[in-house]
């Protein structure tokens, strides 16, 4: 069964809507509803007084309708009574402003009163619903990521630091506290990063983000264990939210959930949303080790900066299938029914304000039918020969103040690498350098891209070296291999961790102006970044052709052991990067999923299933690799098949 459904909040509606909703869900082929997110003030309207009746009715009614439930603990948003009783558990900003209720997510995960109240409500729910027949999975909390700088946080941070660094001198050394007279002589002197006079210590900030990820994880585990104990059969998860502000290292969290569940909201209108969808799906699959679940996306909107952008007809279907094609076990949305009020009343829904007589609900019905038929197929694994690295701590480090350029953007660098591979039709996985199995997972790829991997441990550097020596094709760009995991520069020339197998030594950075660029001798232009590269064994493929760098190496490659390591010094535009990666792929013997696709036509393969999408405005003709049948209708599909603009097609090969 494909999970198809979304967040459902009947507590916002008169009870009679429940019946209508179940009817509409059945009409739409919905198989699962996420219930209970943010329902704490309805479940426990006063401290210690629980009202489960309404939720009983919801679960029972859904069960009668044949709809499963992902039941959420409501701990992401404590009720107003909690604030009144425990002002000390409200989060505090770096400026010392104590937030209060009135939105959501106002709690400090290190505050004892919050943790106790969260355990209580989770335990009550476990007790009552752990064996409910509708229960398909537990959904702990919502989008962990809340930041706090209060004194509870300070105490927890200090404990975490003691565990990590052992001795205070080790911390002083790791944080280079000799700079600016920051040497600590007592653990009690250490605070979370708070408002200070000028630039903070980047190592301090970085460790705080690592701490916060672990501290939030502690909050999750506490609930998970309670729920597991009540019924070990029911899988437990929490929905991962992505964004530069989120201090959660999802790659590490993945080990603690029974199923990686991801909320994914592209932020680019038009074709960009498809590319983001592919990125989000591939990254989530990496976290999930091949399998994951799209827990939330917007049915009918892309939230671009400045406006909510309505999707085009067919796009809901195409996006949903794209997630499935990339390993998701379902397609779930925020949300089922668009609310009448509240802060997100304009977020999109399967049943919008206009009601079921609306384009989005009509498309939902069609999608439900499609997924029902498709659910009968077997979904094989995705086989990728290329991988890109993703590293949350490097992202965090490159968000700091005092960096050489404001154009540094870790996520953009990774997305650009992924986009280039996507455009060339190469199936792509993600790898996580901080994980124990990194070296092992590396071995299964022919080609690996390492964008802006700023922080790198000796182990990671060794694994990448071995990958190349063992015949791999590795592409490294500027700002990779620069620092150790504490953020201390690896000296002697950049990129300190990778100089040997790259065969280069960078002696000076020359970041470009926001509007600037630098000529390269192959006709391309360097963007954002340039630097003085000296080769030490590597062969120069492309040279800088402008500025004081004229004639100096810009792109190099180096035979090392049985493999090759490329170094890309300047930033490149999409076209130039794609041409370069195509060249690497050709050398590495990496092939696209389906060669010869028209522009904006995409093919994704899971086992024998081939998903075809036409994101363009003209019909796309596709040559299949052999005989195939429509995975939904079962009808034979001709080898040369046309997908209409905005359309999609799923076929089973063979």
The string over 436-458, giving b where at least 16 C-beta atoms fall within 10 Å of a residue's C-beta and e elsewhere, is eebbebbeebbbbbbbbbbbbee
Report if residue 327 touches its own copies, rule: CB under 8 A: no
Report if residue 245 touches its own copies, rule: CB under 8 A: no
12: left (phi over 0), alpha (psi -120 to 50) or beta: alpha
The span of 159-167, 321-329, 337-345, 592-600 binding its own copies (CB under 8 A) equals: 337-345
Report if residue 255 touches its own copies, rule: CB under 8 A: no
The answer to whether the annotation marks 614 as part of a ligand binding site is: no
Quick one: 1 or 188, whose CB is closer to its own copies?
Answer: 188
Q: Which of residues 164-203 bind its own copies (CB under 8 A)?
A: 175-186, 188-191, 193-203
Q: Which of residues 422-481 bind its own copies (CB under 8 A)?
A: none
Tell me which DSSP letter residue 402 carries.
S
Sheet strand arrangement including 135-139: 236-237, 135-139, 68-72, 32-35, 3-8, 328-333, 292-296, 261-263, 239-240
Cβ-contact 498, 464 below 8 angstroms: yes
512, two tokens: 């470009």
CA 263 to chain centre: 8
Q: Which of residues 299-318 bind its own copies (CB under 8 A)?
A: 300, 304, 306-310, 312-313
Strand partners, 527: 517, 571
Report if residue 63 touches its own copies, rule: CB under 8 A: no
Quick one: 23 or 444, whose CB is closer to its own copies?
Answer: 23
Work out which of 65, 218, 366, 493 binds its own copies, going by CB under 8 A: 493
Choosing from 44, 143, 276, 602, which is the catalytic residue? 143
Binding string to its own copies for residues 10 to 39, with x set by CB under 8 A, is what?
-xx-------------------------xx
Work out which of 1, 84, 116, 586 binds its own copies, going by CB under 8 A: 84
Tell me which DSSP letter residue 627 carries.
-
Tell me the chain's radius of gyration from C-alpha atoms: 26
The answer to whether the annotation marks 510 as part of a ligand binding site is: no
Q: Which of residues 573-632 bind its own copies (CB under 8 A)?
A: none
Number of residues this chain uses to bind its own copies (CB under 8 A): 115
Choosing from 44, 276, 296, 602, which is the catalytic residue? 296
Cβ-contact 397, 247 below 8 angstroms: no
600, two tokens: 């904006």
Quick one: 466 or 547, whose CB is closer to its own copies?
Answer: 547
Nearest 5°: CA angle at 548, between 546 and 551?
Answer: 60
Work out which of 48, 102, 626, 654 binds its own copies, going by CB under 8 A: 102
Work out which of 79, 235, 266, 368 binds its own copies, going by CB under 8 A: 79
The span of 98-106, 254-262, 380-388, 553-561 binding its own copies (CB under 8 A) equals: 98-106
For residue 12, report the phi and psi dihedrals to the nearest 5 degrees.
Answer: -85, -5
Decide the pairing of beta strands 386-389 and 428-431.
parallel
The span of 92-100, 128-136, 324-332, 570-578 binding its own copies (CB under 8 A) equals: 92-100
Quick one: 326 or 347, whose CB is closer to its own copies?
Answer: 347
The answer to whether the annotation marks 104 as part of a ligand binding site is: yes
Find the shortest distance in angstroms from Cβ 629 to its own copies.
31
Find the shortest distance in angstroms from Cβ 526 to its own copies.
14
Report if residue 281 touches its own copies, rule: CB under 8 A: no
Report if residue 535 touches its own copies, rule: CB under 8 A: no
CA–CA dist 238, 34 (Å, integer): 12
Strand partners, 49: 46
Quick one: 5 or 74, whose CB is closer to its own copies?
Answer: 74
Residue 197 vs residues 20, 172, 193, 278, 329: alpha-carbon distances, Å: 58, 20, 12, 42, 49
Q: What is 146-185 written as a DSSP string?
A: ----SHHHHHHHHHHHHHHHSSHHHHHHHTTTTGGG---S
Q: Which of residues 545-564 bind its own copies (CB under 8 A)?
A: 548
Find the shortest distance in angstroms from Cβ 507 to its own copies.
4
The answer to whether the annotation marks 525 as part of a ligand binding site is: no
Task: Tell me: cis bond preceding 495? Omega within 30 of 0 counts.
Answer: yes
Report if residue 48 touches its own copies, rule: CB under 8 A: no
Annotation marks residue 143 as catalytic: yes
Work out which of 93, 231, 457, 621 binds its own copies, going by CB under 8 A: 93
Annotation marks residue 423 as catalytic: no
Work out which of 492, 523, 626, 654 binds its own copies, going by CB under 8 A: 492
The answer to whether the annotation marks 150 as part of a ligand binding site is: yes
Q: What is the three-state SS of 530-578?
A: CEEEEECCCEEEEEECCHHHCCCEEEEEEEECCEEEEEECCECCHHHHH
Report if residue 151 touches its own copies, rule: CB under 8 A: no
Annotated catalytic residues are 143, 296
Residue stretches of the annotated binding site for Zn(2+): 108, 148, 150
Residue stretches of the annotated binding site: 104, 108, 142, 148, 150
Residue stretches of the annotated binding site for substrate: 104, 142
């Amino acid at each position: 069964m494909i999970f198809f459904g979304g967040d459902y909040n009947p507590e916002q509606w008169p009870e009679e809507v429940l019946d209508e909703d179940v009817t509409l869900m059945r009409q739409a082929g919905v198989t699962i509803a996420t219930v209970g997110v943010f329902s704490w003030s309805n479940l426990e309207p006063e401290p210690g007084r629980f009202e489960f009746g309404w939720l009983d009715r919801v679960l029972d009614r859904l069960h009668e309708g044949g709809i499963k439930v992902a039941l959420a603990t409501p701990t992401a948003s404590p009720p107003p009574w909690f604030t009144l009783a425990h002002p000390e558990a409200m989060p505090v900003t770096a400026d010392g402003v104590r937030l209060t209720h009135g939105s959501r997510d106002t709690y400090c995960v290190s505050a004892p009163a919050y943790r106790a109240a969260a355990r209580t409500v989770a335990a009550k729910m476990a007790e009552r619903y752990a064996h409910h027949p509708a229960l398909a999975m537990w959904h702990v909390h919502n989008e962990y990521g809340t930041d706090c700088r209060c004194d509870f946080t300070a105490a927890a941070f200090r404990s975490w630091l003691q565990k990590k660094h052992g001795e205070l001198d080790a911390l002083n050394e790791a944080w280079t506290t000799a700079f600016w007279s920051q040497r600590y002589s007592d653990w009690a002197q250490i605070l979370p990063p708070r408002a200070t006079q000028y630039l903070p210590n980047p190592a301090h900030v970085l460790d705080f983000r690592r701490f916060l990820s672990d501290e939030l994880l502690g909050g999750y585990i506490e609930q998970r264990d309670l729920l597991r104990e009540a019924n070990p059969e029911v899988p437990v998860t929490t929905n991962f939210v992505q964004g530069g502000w989120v201090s959660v290292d999802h790659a590490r969290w993945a080990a603690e959930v029974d199923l990686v569940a991801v909320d994914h909201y592209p932020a680019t209108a038009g074709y960009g949303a498809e590319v983001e969808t592919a990125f989000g799906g591939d990254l989530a699959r990496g976290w999930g080790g091949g399998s994951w679940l799209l827990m939330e996306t917007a049915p009918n909107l892309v939230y671009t900066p400045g406006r909510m952008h309505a999707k085009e007809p067919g796009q809901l279907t195409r996006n949903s299938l794209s997630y499935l094609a990339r390993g998701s076990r379902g397609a779930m949305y925020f949300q089922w029914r668009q609310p009448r009020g509240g802060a997100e009343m304009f977020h999109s829904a399967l049943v919008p304000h206009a009601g079921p007589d609306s384009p989005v609900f009509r498309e939902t019905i069609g999608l439900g039918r499609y997924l029902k038929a498709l659910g009968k197929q077997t979904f094989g694994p995705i086989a990728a020969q290329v991988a890109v690295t993703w590293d949350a701590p490097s992202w965090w480090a490159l968000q700091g103040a005092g960096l050489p350029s404001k154009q540094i953007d870790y996520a953009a660098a990774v997305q650009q690498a992924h986009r280039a591979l996507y455009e060339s039709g190469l199936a792509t996985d993600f790898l996580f350098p901080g994980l124990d199995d990194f070296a092992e997972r590396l071995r299964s790829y022919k080609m690996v891209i390492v964008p802006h991997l700023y922080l790198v441990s000796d182990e990671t550097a060794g694994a990448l070296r071995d990958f190349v020596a063992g015949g791999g094709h590795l592409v490294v760009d500027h700002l990779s291999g620069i620092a150790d995991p504490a953020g201390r520069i690896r000296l002697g020339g950049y990129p300190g961790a990778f100089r040997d197998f790259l065969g280069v030594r960078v002696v000076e950075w020359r970041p470009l102006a926001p509007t600037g660029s630098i000529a390269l001798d192959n006709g391309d232009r360097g963007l954002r970044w340039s630097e003085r590269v000296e080769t030490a064994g590597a062969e120069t493929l492309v040279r800088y052709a402008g500025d004081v760098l004229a004639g100096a190496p810009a792109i190099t490659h180096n035979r090392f052991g049985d493999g090759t390591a490329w170094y890309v010094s300047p930033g490149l535009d999409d076209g130039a990067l794609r041409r370069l990666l195509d060249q690497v792929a050709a050398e590495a013997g990496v092939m696209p999923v389906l060669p010869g696709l028209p522009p904006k036509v995409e093919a994704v393969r899971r086992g024998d299933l081939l998903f075809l999408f036409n994101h363009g405005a003209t019909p796309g003709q596709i040559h299949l690799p052999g005989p195939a049948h429509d995975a939904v209708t079962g009808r034979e599909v001709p080898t040369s098949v046309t997908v209409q603009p905005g359309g999609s097609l799923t076929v089973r090969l063979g």
